[in-house]
Amino acid sequence: MILKSRLIVAFLLFAFCASGADLRKQAEASLKKGVAFFYSINAHGGYVYYVTPDLSLRWGEGPKDEHTIEVQPPGTPAVGQSFLRAYQVTGDEQALNSAKEAAYALIRGQNKYGGWEHTINFANLSNERVSFDDNQSQSAVSFLMALDRQIEDSLLSAATKRALEMMMTTQLSNGGWPHKYPEQGNYHDYATFNDGGINDCIRVMLEAYQYYNNDEAIKKSLHKAARFMMISQLPPPQPGWAQQYNEFLQPAWARTFEPPSVCPSVTIKNINTLIDLYLVLGDETLLEPIPDALRWLHEIRMENGKWARFVELGTNKALYYDRSRIRVDKLDDLHPERRTGYSYESNLESQLEASSIRYEKALKSGNKSLWKEEHHVLNEEQVAKRLDVLSIDVKKILETQESSGAWITKNDRFKKRMPRGERWNGQYLVMDRISSGVFNQNVAILCEYIELSNQQ
């Protein structure tokens, strides 16, 4: 068996040496060309989600003009991270300069609290809200920290420090984070797990704790967050978590179709966040809420094999709400806008299985061993196999790249954004678009391929 394994590795290495070196060069050229093109379509150093090939139309959460960029992924911070990754792998100075420009755009749009909402409008920098929805401020902080570790830049360092101070200032006294800051007197003030809000805040603070040599203020923030994760778990027989909690730590209404309830998808995210905190803090009590949560998740799977987004408190029944808090009996009774634009039912099987396995490893191996396993360096055989898989994606990326360096999604089909006050009722548009998400994905694949190739 050992001889057979060695022969397989030798064959894979030979195959790579025969064709991989050439493909690596093509990947490097593609990456450099892709970075140069994408930088050329920036606005004030930042990015939106989509632009048309003729650059006449720009999209984010809605139509955008030439003065507006997106903070929310896959916008400016995510693109900046892609540029930074390209520089780290290839040493391409153009990629680093592009990352700097993206950071400077975020810095110019950083508001008086040290955070961001989902867009920056450079024609009107009066935004005075910090949003933690959809990884908005969190992604900006992550990117600034990553770049701050890479380069010496006093402006960047000062902005990063302000952003980290914002993260600690906005943390609620109970240890969670609100949907938005400062207080508005509505559900935006609530501690919010929806769309990974608190989870992403904790991720940022874990990154900061490791980046900045176990800073005591950051450590204190993490312990507050860890306590909130523990006390916000609902009691048996429904030991999961809600999407949002009011000041009395009760599941609460957010939008008119987001009722107080227990949320399976939130619960799975929180299981992983508890393990993330355990890996860094080493506190075994952080694992204690997990077995009950896993058991409950298995119990509430619906007959169709999926999980409801909202599970009714006390009954475990699936909840479906249209706008104006109108409850309906089943998914098909919802208006098309709600039925197709919101995940009322999801297949969480693979996520649940992965979380269960990760928990068992944490319990068996301990935090240090699991940390090493999750951050291990691939051996020769693993590198060869991974390169073989990646080469298929790399070839597709090369084939679909235009001579300009652009990756264009042809005949992209997407929901039509309706005029204010008019509900979507099944209308779609089809056109060619250049996507920040596609760019980020392609850069990630190319960088991984180049990096692993360099190990051969």
pLDDT in tens, 10-66: 554 445 444 678 999 999 999 999 999 999 999 999 999 999 999 999 999 877 899
pTM given for the model: 0.94
Q: Within 10 Å of residue 169's Cβ, how many Cβ atoms?
A: 13
- Listed in sequence order, the residues at least 6 apart from 47 whose beta carbon sits closer than 8 Å to its beta carbon are 38, 41, 69, 70, 75, 76, 79, 102, 436
408-450: pLDDT as tens digits: 999 999 988 877 778 788 889 999 999 999 999 999 999 999 9
CB 119 within 8 A of CB 73: no
The CA–CA distances, whole Å, from 392 to 293, 310, 438 equal 39, 39, 16
Q: Within 10 Å of residue 249's Cβ, how many Cβ atoms?
A: 15
257-275: pLDDT as tens digits: 999 999 999 999 999 999 9
Structure-block tokens of residue 40: 């050329």
Q: Which residue has the tokens 């989600």?
A: 49
Choose among 233, 263, 253, 120: nearest CA to 188: 253
Q: Output the furthest CA–CA distance in the chain (Å, rounded).
A: 69
CB 316 within 8 A of CB 299: yes
- Mean pLDDT over 360-384 rounds to 95
Buried b (16+ CB within 10 A) or exposed e, 35-47: bebbbebbbbbbb
Choose among 175, 164, 179: nearest CA to 220: 175
CB 50 within 8 A of CB 101: no
- Mean pLDDT over 392-399 rounds to 98
Q: SS3 of 445, please? A: helix
Structure-block tokens of residue 244: 């949002």
Structure-block tokens of residue 448: 């991984």
Rounded to an integer, what distance in angstroms lies between the CA atom of residue 55 and that of residue 79?
18
Q: Within 10 Å of residue 193's Cβ, how many Cβ atoms?
A: 26
- Mean pLDDT over 178-207 rounds to 98
140-191: pLDDT as tens digits: 999 999 999 999 999 999 999 999 999 999 999 999 999 999 999 999 999 9
pLDDT at site 19: 66
Handedness of CA 300, 301, 303, 304 (dihedral sign): positive
Confidence of residue 125 (pLDDT cuts 50, 70, 90): very high
pLDDT at site 375: 93
- Mean pLDDT over 296-302 rounds to 98
Choose among 20, 23, 119: nearest CA to 395: 23
